[in-house]
Structure 1
Amino acid sequence: MKKGLAVITILALLVCALGASAQEEGSAEPQVFTSGDYEYILLDDGSAEITYYKGTERDLSVPAQIDGFTVSSIGGSAFSHNETLFSVELPNSLTGIGEEAFSSCEALQSVSLPDSLASIGNGAFSFCYSLNSITIPDSVVSIGRNPFERCDCLTRITVSPDSAFAVIDGVLFEKSTKRLICYPCAFTAPDYCVPEGILSIGARAFSFCSSLRNISLPDSLVNIETLAFSQCTSLNNVILPDSLTSIGDFAFHLCSSLNNITLPDSLTSIGNGAFSGCRNLKELTLPDSLTNFGGTAVFFGCHDLTLTVGRDSYARTYARENNIPYTYADANDWLTN
């Protein structure tokens, strides 16, 4: 009996040890190789992904091969915060550019994207203050969160009619999802009308557009994504269409001039921090259709705000639980009754 228990115990320990070993192998970081100014890893298909560039070249032509391995990908943040890059030519072997790969390359003015490129990751060229134009090849089928956020000099985005994307009046859209991806923050016009048929305003699509004062949204619009209009500091008037169902987290964060916004009866969800820092917002009517608030900070920093809510609504419960001043549309009907 004791021998049997001992065997069972040993087997149990072996199973645990093997499981732990397998878990460690599964979570192991890929080996990083160095070749000149580049660090890279090998992907499952045997190609190389550049993970870091430490060089100081002004005009850089990224190689198609490193140590005999085909360069297929630029990894997340691989070139970010490089202070010397002025122009970059990417190789025809490249299929993917990772999240924030060239973010905060403040001197970067020119990027040549190859015809092999299939995807551009979230914020890939964000905060490239000097980038003034970009041509997106027809091979690109996927673009993440606004890759050109806070590109203060970007005034020209070019695509062909055969692309999966479209540019209308300088604004970048995705055709298949009818999503507005990027309204360049370099634009100085005070007003903009989103085309009818657009279903979604993409994440950070208008962020840092400091000249924008008024936005007209189409009756087709269903969703406003995370940080879509964040830090549009001149935006003061927004009328949301009756088709809209959700407003994402921090969608109007730090829109410090916003003083008038109309929420439709179709709206069911408002994300956390959606109107945080909108210090000039004094009054807002919340529709009875609302069934979800993303968190307790939806109106954080709106110190003078009073909400108008329905008497038995979810919005009233939210206001009470978060100590936000509120009233009812019929609060003074007693005067005439």
Structure 2
Amino acid sequence: MKKILCALLACMLCASVSIGFSGCGCSNNSSQEPGYRVTATEPDLTNDEFGFFILNKDEVMVTKYTGSGKDIKIPESYENYKVTVIGRSLFNGNDISSVEIPDTVKEIQDYAFSSNRNLKSVKLPKNLESIGTNAFFNCPSLESIELPATLKEISVYAFSAAGFKSVTIPESKTLTKLDRFVFYQCQELTDVYLPATITSIADDTFDDCPNKITIHAPKSSYAANYAKTHNFEFKEVK
């Protein structure tokens, strides 16, 4: 309980404090390459629904939502810029029901969709590489999600307190570990499908999940051994 209260307080603090660069989203280091992290302040570009922060000459990050709809479709481009990043806390605490993210997006930053208690449907991009800390924290209506094989990182608390009943980690050359508290306090979680390509799982990845969890994995995999040493049920998959 203390951990989830801490996460909630951090989420509130994140929404109320703005730290970062002013004006254009580009770093003052002109040698930076696309894909580097920035913390946005005010958008450089806006339309009727979104604010966009310029990352470089080709890419923007979505940093603000000003629409009123509950079913969100994020555009893949705006004014000749490609949308590649979903910004920090973009929909934090909003009352949205579904979101469709275009395949141009490679990064979802911290708290992007956290505390959306009615969020039921999420379509992740096929080229997604990173899901940030607490990105889908406290989304109890989110019962399932399809994770792409392009993922490189799922950060701590990314899906904590989500409504998943089962979760499947895709076989991937780039995603080989599950970080701490990724599925912490998932109240409905009972089945986890893990490929042989997962070679590291934190001891507390599934902490405080009340149901008995069955791990489905290849017989001689790291996940199979993890299930046995952490008192999970185990079912072999081929």
* TM-score normalized by the length of structure 2: 0.68
Listed as ranges, the matches of 1:76-225 within 5 Å are 123=14, 125=16, 138-141=23-26, 158-159=51-52, 165-167=60-62, 170=65, 178-182=84-88, 183-225=90-132
Unpaired stretches in structure 2, ≥5 consecutive residues: 1-9, 28-36, 42-47, 66-73
2:145 — aligned with what? Answer: 238
One of 197, 205, 230 as aligned partner of 1:298: 205
- Measure how far apart 1:262 and its partner are: 2.5
Q: In the aligned structure 1, how far is the partner of 2:205 from the partner of 2:93? A: 28
**Paired amino acid for 2:62:** V
Are the counterparts in 1 of residues 217 and 223 from structure 2 also a CA contact under 8 Å?
Answer: yes
Q: Secondary structure at the match of 2:159?
A: coil
- Measure how far apart 1:307 and its partner are: 0.6
Are the counterparts in 2 of residues 230 and 254 from structure 1 also a CA contact under 8 Å?
Answer: yes
Unpaired stretches in structure 1, ≥5 consecutive residues: 1-99, 105-122, 129-135, 148-154, 331-337
One of 304, 324, 335 as aligned partner of 2:232: 324
Cα–Cα, structure 1 residues 146 and 301, in superposed 2: closer, same or farther, change >3 Å?
farther
Cα–Cα, structure 1 residues 159 and 242, in superposed 2: closer, same or farther, change >3 Å?
closer
Q: In the aligned structure 1, how far is the partner of 2:159 from the partner of 2:148? A: 16
> Which structure is richer in relative contact order (CA contacts within 8 A, separation 6 or more)?
2
1:271 — aligned with what? Answer: 179
- Measure how far apart 1:275 and its partner are: 0.6
What is the aligned-residue RMSD (CA, Å)? 3.6
Q: Larger Cα Rg: Structure 1 or Structure 2?
A: 1
Q: In the aligned structure 1, how far is the partner of 2:146 from the partner of 2:160? A: 17
Q: In the aligned structure 1, how far is the partner of 2:219 from the partner of 2:54? A: 52
- Measure how far apart 1:202 and its partner are: 1.1
Q: In the aligned structure 2, how far is the partner of 1:278 from the partner of 1:166? A: 29
Are the counterparts in 2 of residues 157 and 172 from structure 1 also a CA contact under 8 Å?
Answer: no
Per-residue CA deviation, residues 215-239 of structure 1 (Å, 9 max, x unaligned), is 1111101121222111112211101
Per-residue CA deviation, residues 182-228 of structure 1 (Å, 9 max, x unaligned), is 43235433111111111121122111122211111111011212221
One of 226, 229, 249 as aligned partner of 2:133: 226
Cα–Cα, structure 1 residues 217 and 329, in superposed 2: closer, same or farther, change >3 Å?
same
* TM-score normalized by the length of structure 1: 0.49
